[in-house]
Structures are given as C-alpha cells and as structure tokens.
A and B are shown apart, each in its own frame.
Chain A
Amino acid sequence: MRSVEPQTESEVAEILKRANQEGSAVIPRGGGTKLHWGNAPARADVSLSLARMNRVLEHAWADLTVTVEAGCTMAELQRTLAGHGQRLAVDPLWPEKATVGGVLSTNDTGVLRYRYGGLRDLVIGATLALADGTLAASGGKVVKNVAGYDLPKLVTGAYGTLGVITQATFRLHPSPKKTKNVTANFDSLAEAQRVLLRVLDTQIVPAALQLRTNGGATQMDALFEGTEEGIRAQIETLRQIVRVSEASADVWQRPEAGAKLSTLPSRIAETLAGLNGTAVMQATGLGWVSSSSVDSPNLAELRKKVESSGGSLVLMGRRDGLDAWGTPGDTLPLMRAIKQRFDPRGTLNPGVYLGGI
C-alpha cells in the first residue's frame, strides 16, 4: 500500500483522480483512530492521509462558526475555540489523535449529544473531493441555509465512501460557565430506567444523562451546565425524584467499546437484560457495549434483539463472522445508487460500508 500526504485540496483531488483512472482503491485516513471500524476494505492500494491539512482556517467567533481543515485534531480545534470561550459541542473518542474528517466520517458521538444534537446538527458546510477529482463545496458558512441539498449531512457517517472531506464548517456553542455532575445508584437496571424516563418527563435540562450498567447494578449520571442558580435549582428538582450525590467528571469516561448500540430509551433495560458485560447508555437511546467482556456470539444475539425492536448495533472494531453494520433496510438499493453516482468505480474505501458498499 502506497502512502500519500497531500497538503492542499487540489493535491487531494489530483491523487483521487489518478487512482480512480488506474482502478486503485483509496483509504482516506485522519488520525487513524477508527480505521478498524466498519468492515475491512475489499481492496486497499493508496493510504491518503489528511494529517498535513490541519489548519483552523477561520474561527468567526462573533458568528459562532468555525471552518477547519479535515486533518486538524479535535483537541487542537477545541483549544483554538476555547480562546474565545467557545466549543464544538461534541466529545468523541481519543480527541488528541482523532481528526475532524475522521470524526465526521464515522459520525462519532459522545455524551453531549443529549443536549446539543449529533454532528449532523452541528456541521453546516463541507468541501468534498470526489473519486473522479471533482472538488465540490456544499452547505455554507452560515448557521441557517436551505439552498440546495444538505450534502454535509450525507457525508457525515459515510465512512469516506462518497468523497474525501477536505474541510468543514461547524456551528459552535459558548462553553458553559459552570458545570456540575451528580450520580445516583440503583440495584437494578429496570429501576434505573424507570427513573431515567421520569427525569426525561421533567423540565430539567441536563447537558448529558446516562446509565452505566453491568446488567444489574446501575448508576445514573447527569451533567448540568449553565448558571450557578440554574444548576442548583435543577439538582433540587432531581432530588425530588431520586437520591443523588455529587460526582467527578470521570463518570463520563468512555469505556473501550466493542459496539455502538441504538435503541429507544424505554427499551434500554429490556435490551440489556442478561448482558454479559458492561454498557453505557445515553438518555438518547445511544450507547456503547464494552469490548473486553462481550464475545462475538453474545454480540450477534444482542444485535438480533435490538434489530427486532427497531434499533441497531454497529461494531467498533472487527469481529470474525460478524458484519460491522447489521441487517440493511429497504433503503439499501437507494444507498447503492448514491454510491454509484458519487463513486462509480468503487475507488473510495470499497467494501467497508453497509451492504458491501
């Protein structure tokens, strides 16, 4: 496998164009922290690293937006934004190494999702280099924009199968003035879920809310952000429902995960009943199942259960005999048609995606 490290958008486009003509497969690479997610590529000839395209191009702090090259690490981006008391409200894995392009392409998500939405809700523009060397801008630099199709959302979570992201623009949020974490303990997951649903039905608005469980004993953690008075009042309200104690920010540490799980908040307990390992579930219904303690047959069974109730289980890291994505729905032909239009020769990350895309 050849490695290339272009420095400009037009170099990226040139490399892709040539590979596309030769019939070589290109594996885009950011920090390389999640290259083992998704299925193994069917072919891999060129490793295209975005590492040298790592500048923060424009932090328009007064407009609460930032435009950044895809190879910039999340940590570096956040340091720049913090200079003006702002942040991109996502907290992905391994921020010191993970890049903006890699995080967008894998749609990595953290605990702030509950309050601030996913990357799809934060990305407002992206420049793409397509397999045939076309460079295309989409979206824009303003928070509100409905002119044309929302291609930044299309490439979010597309695992680099449609084009290489060369730069992206995001909407930002002010960093919180004050934060506080609290934790409650439960003997059973079912009881924890019951309380979680009650909390969801109140008017308190945590920035993050999660259950940590081994199938039995469970903790519920809440992160509050805002003013001193607001935080105090909300914790007061929470205390009317459940006993909580103050906790450190460590409760938000993400475990080494084997799979990303998505279910309905009301189905968390039912889904994880009999879990042979540990899991962290966000109040959004998204969560992670630990890698160390769950083996492949277990994951396969869990997937069956989750899918039968409308959810999904996606592997983070490869397992023999298990597809990374699970059972495709009736949109697979449409997804294949999109791939066909964007990358007809299968140059970009062939085979890593859903249904062999």
Chain B
Amino acid sequence: MTAQILSELLAILGPQGLISTPDEMRTYENDALTNFRVMPEAVVLPTSTEQVQAVLRICHRERIPFVARGSGTGLSGGALPVTGGIVVSLARMKRILEVDFENQRMVVEPGVINLDVTARVASRGYFYAPDPSSQSVCSIGGNVAENAGGAHCLKYGFTTTHVLGLEVVLADGTLVHMGSQTLDAPGYDLPGVFVGSEGTLGVATKVTLRIVKRPEFVQTLLAAFASTNEAGAAVSGIIAAGMLPAAIEMMDTLAIEAAEAAVHANYPPCGGLLLVELDGPVAEVATLMEEVAAICRANGTSEIRVSKNDEERMLVWKGRKAAFAAMGRLSPNYIVQDGVIPRTALPAILSEMEQLSAAAGLRVANVFHAGDGNLHPLVLYDRRIEGQEKAAEQLAERILELCIEKGGSITGEHGVGEEKKHMMGKMYAEPDLATMNRLRCAFDPLSLANPTKVFPRPRMCGEQPGEYKPHPIEIAGLAERY
C-alpha cells in the first residue's frame, strides 16, 4: 500500500482509526478459524457510515479489496484478510441508535454485541431471539453476514427472520437502504439476500432488528438415553406429536464429558443427552411438558429432570453453550464442523461417523441442534502427532460429504468463508453457482468485497453493465402510465 493511500486513510480516520504496523495488525490476521492467516495491508476502524463510505471509495478507485470484520469469532475464515487488501473493522460502531418498544423494533450499529441488544430491552420484558453460543462476544454485523443461528432459532427463526432493514455501503461507496421499518417494502427482498452473504455484498452500517416479548414461562427438560439413537427417536416422536419446542439439543458421551469437566453442569453420564425447552403460556407448557416426558419414557430414557427454576435452566444451558470450548479439556486440538442433514437421517449418519472415526483412529464428539438437523461434530486430534491434523481434516470433510449425500448442507450457521469454498462445487452444480455469481456481480462488479471467499474460484463479472436500459416499448409504456 502506498504512503499516499495510507495518508489519505489517516486523514479520513484519524490516528485512532488506522492500524498499519504488522505488530499491531497481528490480531486481525485471522478469525476463530486459526489455521488460516493473512497479514492485511492496513486495518481501518471507522466510527461512522461516512467514514466507511470514504474508505470504500478509495478502495474502489485503487482497486483494493476489503474485508469487513465484526468480533472475529467466525469459524469459517469469513473475516480472514485477503492478500493486498484492507480490513474494515466495525468494532467501534457500537451504538444502539433507537429502541421502539411499541413496534418491537431496534436500530443498531453493526459493532453492537449480540447480548447487548437483549440487555438493552430486557427490563421491559423483551429479547433479541437469535442466540449463537458466541453471543457474549459476536457482533450483530457478523450475525447478519453469517445469518447466525442458535438453539432457540428452531422456534423463533434465524437472524434473517429478525432483520427488517439494513443500511449498507456498497463496494463503490454508494449508500443504500434495504428493506424498511415496515414489512414488505416494494421491490426485491434485498435484506433477504444480504443476510448470509458473508461480507461479499457490501458493509452493513446500520441494522433494524425485531425484538420479541419474553414468553410467560420457559421450562427445560433434560433426558438421558443409552445412546444418541434412542434420543433421536424421542426427537422424532416429539415432532410427530405436532409440537414445536423452543429448542431441542442433543449431546453424545464425549460432549457431555467435556461440558462436565468445563462447567460442572451436573449432566447425568449417558450415551445420548437430550435438552428440550418449551416456552409459552404456563398452562400450555405444563401440558406439553408432560407429553414430552411421556415420549422420552416411551423411547427408554433412564432419567428425566425438569428444571424447577431459571437457575437450574441456566446451568443446563451453560453446559451446552460451553461444549465447543470445553473440548480443549479432552484434546489439545480439535476441528469444529458444521453440517446439516434432514433430521430423519440422524441414526444413519451417526453410525457412519462412528465407522469413520474408528477407521481414522480419531475421536469425534457430537453436539447437535437436533430439532433442525444441524450437526456439530468435533473432530479431536493432536497436532504434535505426525499426520493427525491431515487425517482430522479429511475426516471432517468426509462428514460434510455425507451431509450432502443425505440431501443436507455443508453449513447450517458457520458459513462457507475460506474454509468450505472448495465444497460448494459438491453441493451445487455449476449453473447454480454461476447464478449466485450474477447476484454478486450486480452488487460488486469489480469483486472488491471479500472477493476470495464463498465461491470455489475467482469469478469475473464480464462487462460492467451501465445503467439499466429499458426496452424502448417499456419506456413508451411508462410514459403512458405516468
């Protein structure tokens, strides 16, 4: 990066807003997928939409690629810098701009931490529903870009359901307002495609969120089974009975062990543990909880515990939410995988994973969002042992292939990013990917926004279309109408 450009950036951002020495940029080399690292040319930390625009205009003029970054907790390398590019950190844009309780909406800057949204509205009995396990650190901008999910999204929907509108700076510095405070703004559903686009369509600078009234009553049932098969059968029973719990989570022996070691959640030792949370009116939860318990018993549960108060409930969740990090207690290294299957394929894929694990001589722990078929297999290995890292990567990748074979997906919430872009061609055919690329080209014809991510190989956009040219008859038609 030339001294000239750096001084331009400095003029825009001030000394607090620009980092350009390798030492200081070290923390921005990677996200939570730590085996990929790239040193950026510079890191900017804007405090306003105008600053983001000014920076992207320079990038556009100089053809410098940029990568937006929230809290850097992404697990697929989405915020990994690109060679020769800059990082746009939104961490300093963290104001809550507006709270409208009457209409159950909020407007926040992208750097606001997920849990702080709920904290701001909790006293009036509201919450922000999407609850990734990383919610105490990850940012709303990162959640938007990844369409983050969480245990309670089974009932409440993923991030996309809770984003009504977005202010976005496009790759050429243009400012646009997608969606609106009200529903069904005329025109294409731009928030619908921006959410989950992993930083490839622009930088979100404001987000209008939906907030939800806390349910009257919440209760969590914990049921122990001999294996994940029986636990899985109980899940099928619950769905077949026509219930839609707030959350259904499952853990296997290894995952339980790790969570126990880390936070002493007091889980019963067993082969398959089920967490079922119901919420709603007290009278309804009470009736349905009995039904859930009966289904668990019919499927051979050895122990059922129903939370008696919020403390007990929180402890149950603490274990579940700590499960990834807790793996460090069982193994020096591990890969967090994220795949999706149709829920009914669970027994089949579990037994196939068992065989793969035995064949590779590597342990695999399992944590699932069982209600929607989202698997998080954790492949344990020791980097110091020659060849284990490679074997673990191959095993993790084979699991994704199984997900595709079962009609599922290579990612349910962590995104494609850098890590899985070579798998996209296995999940989608070439015309499918080319069609997605048309969208990308409409937003960013020069491929400056997080350009090397998501798609298997760099794609050109062909000639840059000028302003849309309507057919002469269309113009005639319009002239008539106006």
Chain A interface residues (CB < 8 Å from chain B): 39-40, 42-43, 60, 62-65, 85, 107, 109, 113, 117-118, 120-121, 128, 130, 134-138, 140-151, 153-154, 156-158, 162, 173-175, 177, 197, 200-205, 226-227, 229-230, 232-234, 237, 260, 262-266, 284-286, 310-312, 314, 321, 323, 325-326, 328-342, 344, 346, 350-351, 353-357
Contact = CB atoms under 8 A, between A and B. Distances in A.
A339 B468 CA distance: 8
B344 A136 contact: no
Contacts of B104: 200
Contacts of B174: 333
B477 interface: yes
A213 B354 CA distance: 61
Nearest to A320: B481
B467 interface: yes
A280 B434 CA distance: 43
A147 B288 contact: no
Contact of A150 (B146, B196, B216, B287): B196
B284 A230 contact: yes
A107 to B, nearest CB: 6
Interface in B78-109: 100-104
A193 to B, nearest CB: 10
Nearest to B403: A142
B244 A150 contact: no
Given A140-B409, A310-B181, A356-B470, A85 B242 contact: yes
A285 B175 CA distance: 27
A42 B281 contact: no
The 7 closest A-B pairs by CB, nearest first: A230-B284, A153-B192, A336-B468, A174-B242, A136-B435, A42-B474, A42-B477
Contacts of A229: 283-284, 286-287
Contact of A233 (B281, B288, B471): B281
B157 interface: yes
A174 B243 CA distance: 7
B390 interface: no
Contact of B183 (A118, A339, A356): A118
A354 B413 contact: no
Nearest to A224: B281
Nearest to B341: A142
B424 to A, nearest CB: 7
Interface in B6-53: none
A314 B409 contact: no
Given A145-B411, A331-B178, A346-B471, A151 B283 contact: no
Contact of B342 (A65, A150, A202, A260): A65
B215 A265 contact: no
Contacts of A117: 157, 161
Contacts of B409: 140, 142, 144-147
Contacts of B471: 42-43, 346, 350-351
Interface string B180-217: 11111111111011011100000000000000011110
A230 B439 contact: no
Interface string B426-443: 011101111110111111
B240 interface: yes
Counting chain A CB atoms within 10 Å of each CB, the highest count among B287, B470, B476, B478 belongs to B470
A134 B158 CA distance: 30
Contact of B439 (A60, A144, A149): A149
Contacts of A286: 182-184
B250 interface: no
Given A121-B157, A146-B415, A229-B283, 5 more contacts: A43-B473, A202-B213, A229-B286, A230-B287, A329-B176
B434 A134 contact: yes
Contacts of B160: 120-121, 150, 153
B183 A149 contact: no
Contacts of A150: 147, 160, 192-193, 195-196
Given A63-B342, A346-B471, A354-B187, A341 B438 contact: yes
A260 B186 CA distance: 10
B182 A310 contact: yes
Nearest to A314: B186
Contacts of B369: 144
B340 A144 contact: yes
A154 B281 contact: no
Contact of A175 (B161, B242, B413, B435): B242
Given A147-B409, A227-B284, A337 B465 contact: yes
Given A153-B192, A336-B468, A173 B408 contact: no
Given A42-B471, A157-B189, A284-B183, A323 B281 contact: no
Contact of B182 (A137, A148, A149, A262): A262
Contact of A151 (B146, B187, B436): B436
A177 B416 CA distance: 40
A232 B283 contact: yes
Nearest to B343: A63
Contacts of B482: 323
B468 to A, nearest CB: 3
Counting chain B CB atoms within 10 Å of each CB, the highest count among A63, A109, A137, A312 belongs to A63
A329 B476 CA distance: 23
Given A146-B415, A227-B287, A264-B182, A62 B343 contact: yes
B251 interface: no
B361 interface: no
Interface string B381-417: 0000000000000000000000000011111111110
A171 to B, nearest CB: 9
A286 B188 CA distance: 17
A323 B480 CA distance: 11
A16 B349 CA distance: 40
B247 interface: no
A263 B471 CA distance: 34
Given A42-B473, A146-B413, A130 B184 contact: no
Contacts of A142: 340-342, 372-373, 407-409, 412
26 contacts: A39-B481, A40-B481, A42-B477, A63-B344, A107-B189, A117-B161, A141-B342, A142-B412, A146-B415, A147-B427, A148-B424, A150-B192, A150-B196, A200-B213, A201-B213, A227-B284, A229-B287, A230-B284, A262-B180, A262-B182, A321-B481, A328-B187, A331-B178, A335-B187, A341-B442, A342-B435
B429 to A, nearest CB: 7
A140 B408 contact: yes
A338 B432 contact: no
Interface in B310-347: 340-344
Contact of A156 (B183, B189, B374): B189
Nearest to B284: A230
Given A128-B435, A262-B185, A356 B474 contact: yes
Counting chain A CB atoms within 10 Å of each CB, the highest count among B188, B433, B435 belongs to B188
B184 A121 contact: no
A179 to B, nearest CB: 13
Contact of A203 (B100, B216, B412): B216
Counting chain B CB atoms within 10 Å of each CB, the highest count among A149, A150, A229, A284 belongs to A149
A331 B186 CA distance: 11
Contacts of A339: 468
B432 A136 contact: yes
B373 A144 contact: yes
B236 interface: yes
